Amino acid sequence: MLNTPKLNLMQELIAGSSREELIWLSGYLAGVVAAQVHPVAATPQVVAQVQTALGAASVVESAVAPAINKITIAYGTETGNSKKLASDFAAKAKKKGINAKLVGLEQYRLNDLPKEEYFFTVISTQGDGEPPAAAKKFYDHIHQNGLKLEKLKYGVLALGDTAYPLFCKAGEDVDQQLQKAGGQRIVSLEKCDTDYESQALGWFDHILQQLSTSGAGGNGDAQNGSGLAVSGAALPATGGAAATARAGKKVYTGTVLANINLNDRGSAKQTHHLEIVAEGVDYQPGDSLGLVPENPVLVVDAILGLTGVDAEQKLAVRQEEHSVGHLLRKKLNIIYLPERVVKKYAAIVQQDIPETRIGLLDLLKIYPVRDGAQFHEVMAILEPTAPRLYSISSSPEAHDGEIHLTVAKDKFSVNGEVKHGLCSDHLSQLAPDQTFEFYIHKNSQFRLPAPDKDVIMIGPGTGVAPFRSFLAQRDSTGASGKNWLFFGDQHFTTDFLYQTELQNWLQTGVLTKLNTAFSRDQAEKVYVQHKMLRESEELFRWLENGASVYVCGAKEPMSVDVEMALLHIIQKEGKKPLAQAEAYLDELRESGRYVKDVY
């Protein structure tokens, strides 16, 4: 046995050696033993000899050419996570000597797809199982009939959130469509939850191993000329076929400290500021709080009354057993059923029901179930209630142990009847000392820059939430970078959210500039993009000096209008044609200096 110093030395040597170096060492030691020679002392000459040999081994290793030398890595992203992963993958591939072409699906030339040989894509899922807006053109293209991809060998990494019913649906669709078109899947679809980093890197490491090893088929899979597994016999993913990271999100229990309506009397809006305390809560400015809202008691009671089902009866739904009342109240979506669920309901009750979004209670009234047993069938097709995400408006440095939310109570009309958003209505009614469960949804792309860098924040309405977090954080940490906020709403007197705080930050210098746009305070509506255009010269100067731009709020039309205003400013002040202005904005986006969190 080796004594401790020798063992430590050996372990250190092994840990720092490549495969080729270890092979050389194995042969060297075998030769020493065969010759029955005692190891010589570690003189400088011997050390130099070993180092020279190890260096030669490294050269041999680096000279080993990969079996495949060219791949395409394409990403479809909404928040930037897929792009970050794809960029990391491309960098790893290039270190292995593989020429990796990195491209966003919005810029991918669709005519190139039939020519591709090795194509790997990272794509997230948005909304109700939809692809990111930037990937929609590609997504629609691969769903066309007649697409032939016989040369294509591919793999798909799907990002999603297991809290949503159609988890990683966009990735699943892309994987299936590429195979239907004749593509050969060489690695199983990998489905990742919100904590995806290690699983995703493991998936790509597995791909690199296959690409870099000639003759590697593995597990008796069918092979092509390079030895890679192809067709239906896909290589196992890091977590198994269609693997999913299900470690689970950390769930916190929050207690409401305060719930204040930020809008004054006479406002057409109702925006609530909630302060919540939760032990051990861990978040950063830019993150969101996720929660699953409970269904209204009155609706649940009405459903139980119509069906005659016992609320305490135990029922297994989606591999979980709960009482019927608990499932209807806290687990299942019963308020607005998607068309796919309505279609399944129609099949159960054997009725011809128009494809529409409708609540379960209304369905039961119009197309009643036969009995309790048939209602149990209906419960089996109901989908889990999807979580809602709210931008956190507090700072971990300024509000230790607390989380603040800025929630607009959603109000809309259906057939002349006023309705309220399920979650925003629930949150607006929470009283101090009430509790609810939530988790933290990390947004690694929507992060403050270095403390000395300037930021331009554009957040009308509740879009101001993360910027209250940003400003409180920068105030608490003494960041030296300048801060400029564009805020807007309907009326100055009733809808100026966080007015006192923002004006205090302006007086103390935390806010360098504050521009407000109250759209209904004059005959002609004025929005944040109009105020940006009025500040065109200075805004462009901030951009040229390295400022980062953040946009939060409504995706349409606000974020679209803001982007058009930015392009106009770059064109005008930079004296650039449209193509160059677009390239300038793309560069900001690529470098992480133009970031959006829109909904």
Q: In this predicted model, which residue has the larger pLDDT, 26 or 432?
A: 432
Q: In whole angstroms, what is the distance from residue 108 CA to residue 579 CA?
A: 18
Q: Whole-number mean pLDDT of the chain?
A: 85
Q: In whole angstroms, what is the distance from residue 169 CA to residue 148 CA?
A: 23
Distances (CA, A) of 310 to 45, 54, 383, 562, 576: 86, 74, 21, 53, 70
The reported pLDDT for the residue numbered 40 is 44
The reported pLDDT for the residue numbered 228 is 44
Q: What percent of the chain has pLDDT over 70?
A: 82
At 182 the three-state DSSP class reads coil
Q: Which of 377, 398, 413 is the last residue of a domain?
A: 377
Burial class (CB in 10 A: 0-12, 13-18, 19+), 576: middle
Q: What is the pLDDT of residues 316-351, one digit of tens each?
A: 877 788 999 999 999 999 998 999 999 999 999 999
Q: Are residues 568 and 592 in the same domain?
A: yes
How far from the centroid of its chain's Cα atoms is residue 88's Cα? 16
Q: In whole angstroms, what is the distance from residue 272 CA to residue 407 CA?
A: 5
The DSSP output letter for 176 is: H
Q: What is the pLDDT of residues 406-421, one digit of tens each?
A: 999 998 876 677 888 9
pLDDT at 353 over 90: yes
The reported pLDDT for the residue numbered 13 is 63
pLDDT at 224 over 70: no
Q: Are residues 226 and 356 in the same domain?
A: no
The reported pLDDT for the residue numbered 67 is 66
Output the domain CATH number for residue 551: 3.40.50.80
Question: Beta strand pairing status for 435-441 and 288-291?
Answer: antiparallel
Q: Are residues 422 and 465 in the same domain?
A: no
Q: Are residues 322 and 214 in the same domain?
A: no
Question: Beta strand pairing status for 288-291 and 271-277?
Answer: unpaired
Place of tokens 């097709």: 381
Place of tokens 């990494």: 157
Count up the domains in the chain and report the number: 5
Q: In this predicted model, which residue has the larger pLDDT, 567 or 9?
A: 567
Decide if 129 is inside a domain. yes
pLDDT band for position 22 (50/70/90)?
low
Q: In this predicted model, which residue has the larger pLDDT, 4 or 208?
A: 208
Q: In whole angstroms, what is the distance from residue 178 CA to residue 154 CA?
A: 8
Q: Are residues 463 and 518 in the same domain?
A: yes
Decide if 449 is inside a domain. no
pLDDT at 215 over 80: no
Q: Are residues 76 and 188 in the same domain?
A: yes
Q: What is the pLDDT of residues 550-583, one digit of tens each?
A: 999 999 999 999 999 999 999 999 999 999 999 9
The reported pLDDT for the residue numbered 85 is 92
pLDDT at 220 over 50: no
Decide if 302 is inside a domain. no
Question: Beta strand pairing status for 153-159 and 118-124?
Answer: parallel
pLDDT at 298 over 90: yes
Q: Are residues 35 and 77 in the same domain?
A: no
- CA-only gyration radius of the chain, Å: 29
Query: Which residues touch 522 (CB under 8 Å, ≥6 apart)?
Result: none
pLDDT at 30 over 80: no
Decide if 580 is inside a domain. yes
Distances (CA, A) of 249 to 158, 193, 245, 283, 441: 18, 9, 11, 13, 9
Q: In whole angstroms, what is the distance from residue 586 CA to residue 599 CA?
A: 21
Output the domain CATH number for residue 406: 2.40.30.10
Is residue 463 within 8 A of residue 301, CB to CB? The reply is: no
Output the domain CATH number for residue 198: 3.40.50.360
Q: What is the pLDDT of residues 424-445, one digit of tens each?
A: 999 999 999 999 999 999 888 8
Q: Of 131, 126, 473, which is closest to residue 286 (Cα–Cα)?
A: 473
Q: What is the pLDDT of residues 63-85, one digit of tens each?
A: 445 667 789 999 998 878 899 89
pLDDT band for position 31 (50/70/90)?
very low
Q: Are residues 74 and 209 in the same domain?
A: yes
Decide if 159 is inside a domain. yes
Decide if 94 is inside a domain. yes
At 435 the three-state DSSP class reads strand
The reported pLDDT for the residue numbered 599 is 86
Is residue 558 within 8 A of residue 528, CB to CB? The reply is: yes
Question: Beta strand pairing status for 118-124 and 184-185?
Answer: unpaired
When mean pLDDT is compared across 247-251, 294-298, 352-356, the lowest value belongs to 247-251
Q: Are residues 481 and 564 in the same domain?
A: yes
| Per-position DSSP letters for 337-385, written without gaps between them | B-HHHHHHHHHHHT----S--B-HHHHHHHS--SSHHHHHHHHHHPPBP
Q: Are residues 460 and 533 in the same domain?
A: yes
Place of tokens 């109009």: 530
The continuous run of DSSP H or E covering 137 comes out as helix 136-142
Q: Which domain holds residue 231?
A: 70-244
The reported pLDDT for the residue numbered 235 is 38
The reported pLDDT for the residue numbered 328 is 96
The reported pLDDT for the residue numbered 146 is 86
The reported pLDDT for the residue numbered 209 is 85
CA torsion 96→102→108→109, rounded to 10°?
Answer: -50
Q: Which of 21, 48, 63 is the last residue of a domain?
A: 63
Give the number of other CB atoms < 10 A from CB of residue 212.
Answer: 18
Distances (CA, A) of 221 to 75, 150, 241, 479: 27, 18, 14, 56
The reported pLDDT for the residue numbered 362 is 94
Strand segments, DSSP code E, in 105-183 are 118-124, 153-159
At 577 the three-state DSSP class reads coil
pLDDT band for position 36 (50/70/90)?
very low
Q: Are residues 373 and 399 in the same domain?
A: no
Distances (CA, A) of 425 to 407, 421, 468: 9, 6, 23
Q: Are residues 400 and 463 in the same domain?
A: no
Decide if 300 is inside a domain. no
Query: Which residues touch 579 (CB under 8 Å, ≥6 apart)?
Result: none
Q: Of 86, 56, 53, which is closest to residue 72 (Cα–Cα)?
A: 86
Decide if 299 is inside a domain. no
- 253: β partners: 437
The reported pLDDT for the residue numbered 515 is 98
Q: What percent of the chain has pLDDT over 90?
A: 68
